[in-house]
Amino acid sequence: MELETFLNLPTEEVARIVREAGPKVAVFPINGTRRWFLLEYPELVVDDFARAYFEIGGQRHIELYKLFFDHGIETLLTPVFGPDLLDRGDEYKELVAPGLLWFTENPAFLQFYDAYDVHVSIYGDAQRYFKGTSYVHLLSAFEELSRRTAHHRTHRLFLGVCAHDATETVAEIGIRFYQEQGHAPDRRQIVEAYYGEYVDPVDFFIGFDRPTAFDMPLIATGNEDLYFTVSPSPYLDAHTLRVILYDHLYTRRLGEEDYTMVGQDDWRALAQFYAVNRHHVLGVGRRDRSGNFWIPLPPVTLPDIIDETGE
């Protein structure tokens, strides 16, 4: 199937194709939300910023979750909080608790979980980081949300909270399991204990800005496809998601290389491509004039000998 055809299929047909390829596990940290909000709603910054930010940003979260589920993704992991965010200052700290409660108590979120039959789980080390702090009340809210949506079966949404380093938690899981069972847990049992249920290895990860993959412990195998949007995550739309899905389903699915089957014209094209891109590096960027933002540089140059349509 050609990309243009895939982009113009009805959403239900895309979802069918994605599901036929097997259950998909996607990781999508929604980053750049403040940048997106300030760009799209500058008139709301001067008034009740926090409330407007949560209401509009929260609604955008829901729309993005629906976008993935409507396109056939069954399991979505979205890291929402890491301890490093507390280093952004007191103003940001004041947004943490209300922001995390928004996922657990806001009527629009609860209605979405019910309408889309979404089981929500919180993964990570929130217990370790929040216990004994002003955020401790969030732990009971997380548990209540998981209980409230436990009977939902169609989709799974895992919200990552302090999921940046699972080392100590995995050690505790192993110790506790050995004490109870008399032998060490296998990989599946560790994953189940960490996430609350078994999660298959990640199929693809969609990040934003500087290329870095994070907050998907135990299920990142090195076989996942990595994508990074140039615009903040809230700008993701159906077109961009379909471009990613097409690449994941079709473009990257290469068989074992058989260099004996590569013709001389193809070798020459490949040699020219490498020659003109010898000093290009994926992931290299520059700072903008203000020094506040990282901007990726164009990654490759396509020589004339290579058809830009990929056909």
Interval 208-232: pLDDT, tens: 999 999 999 999 999 999 999 999 9
Q: Is the pLDDT of residue 47 over 80?
A: no
Of 200, 231, 251, the position where a domain reaches its end is 251
Q: Are residues 176 and 293 in the same domain?
A: no
Compare 140 and 298 and report the one with higher pLDDT: 140
What average pLDDT does range 79-97 have in this prediction?
75
pLDDT of 255 > 80? The answer is no
Answer yes or no: is pLDDT of 199 > 50. Answer: yes
Residue 122 has pLDDT above 50, yes or no: yes
Identify whether 72 is part of a domain: yes
CA-closest candidate to residue 234, choices 22, 10, 18, 32: 32
* Least confident piece of the model among 97-101, 197-201, 252-256: 252-256
Percent of the chain with pLDDT over 90: 77
Say whether both 96 and 241 belong to one domain: yes
Residue 295 sits in the same domain as residue 246: no
Local confidence band at 192 (pLDDT 50, 70, 90 cut-offs): very high
Residue 73 has pLDDT above 90, yes or no: yes
Indicate whether 96 and 140 sit together in one domain: yes
Residues 287 and 185 in one domain: no
For residues 98 and 50, the answer to whether their CB atoms sit within 8 Å is yes
- Residue 183 domain-assigned? yes
Residue-averaged pLDDT of the chain: 92
**Residue 258 lies inside a defined structural domain of this protein:** no
Verify that 240 and 305 share a domain, yes or no. no
Report the share of the chain in percent with pLDDT over 70. Answer: 95
Pairing type for strands 155-161 and 294-296 reads: unpaired
With respect to residue 302, please indicate whether it lies within any of the assigned structural domains: yes
Task: Kindly state whether residue 256 falls inside one of the protein's structural domains.
Answer: no
Could you tell me if 147 and 273 lie in one domain?
no
For residue 8, pLDDT beyond 50: yes
Mean pLDDT of 48-54: 86
- Structural domain including 307 reads 263-311
Cα(116)–Cα(237) distance, integer angstroms: 19
Position 140 in a domain: yes
Q: Both 220 and 276 in a single domain?
A: no
**Residue 4 within any structural domain of the chain:** no
Give residue 259's pLDDT. Answer: 85
CB 152 within 8 A of CB 159: no
Residue 311 confidence class, pLDDT cut points 50, 70, 90? very low
Least confident of 90-99, 176-185, 188-197: 90-99
Confidence of residue 258 (pLDDT cuts 50, 70, 90): confident
Q: Is the pLDDT of residue 276 over 60?
A: yes
Per-residue pLDDT at 141 exceeds 70: yes
User: How confident is the model at residue 310, as a pLDDT?
Assistant: 46
| pLDDT reported for residue 96 | 80
pLDDT over 60 at 35, yes or no: yes
Q: Domain for residue 1, yes or no?
A: no
Give me the number of domains the chain comprises.
2
Give the pLDDT of residue 308: 52
Residues 270 and 125 in one domain: no
Residues 304 and 169 in one domain: no
Residues 60 and 209 in one domain: yes
d(CA 223, CA 146): 29
The greatest distance separating any two alpha carbons of the chain, rounded to the nearest whole angstrom, comes to 67
Domain boundary among 231, 251, 271: 251
Residue 73 CB contacts under 8 Å (≥ 6 apart), including other chains = 18, 24, 26, 155
The pLDDT confidence band at residue 107, using thresholds 50, 70 and 90, is very high
Assess whether 60 and 163 both reside in one domain: yes
CATH code where residue 118 lies: 3.40.1180.10
pLDDT of residue 261: 86
pLDDT for 93: 67
- State the pLDDT confidence band at 94, using cuts at 50, 70 and 90: confident
